[in-house]
Amino acid sequence: MVDLRSDLIESRSKNTVLEKELQNTLEQLHAAQLQVHASSGHDANAESVRKKLVSPVIHQIITIITFSYLCI
């Protein structure tokens, strides 16, 4: 029982770290996309860029994290 509890705590800790890394990566991606739009002369609206990026990127990152998490 103690081993299961420690495994659960470890898994939750890893999940928290991965979620923070995901958030940081998404913020970096968003900032880079805004810079690309600005340098190419497009009128970049942060909200429109976010909408275009979030869905496919989140899906791909969640898939990667899930696979990584299952391999741990």
If phi > 0 it is left, if psi is from -120 to 50 it is alpha, else beta; for residue 41 that is left
End-to-end CA distance of the chain: give it in Å, rounded.
20
Domain layout of the chain by residue ranges:
2-71
Residue 8 has pLDDT above 80, yes or no: yes
What is the tens place of the pLDDT at every residue in 19-67? 899 888 988 888 888 888 778 776 656 666 666 666 676 767 777 777 6
The CA distances from residue 34 to 7, 37, 44, 51, 58, in Å, are 41, 5, 6, 12, 18
What is the per-residue pLDDT for 41?
A: 72
Residue 72 has pLDDT above 60, yes or no: no
Side-chain-side CA neighbours of residue 26 (13 Å): 20
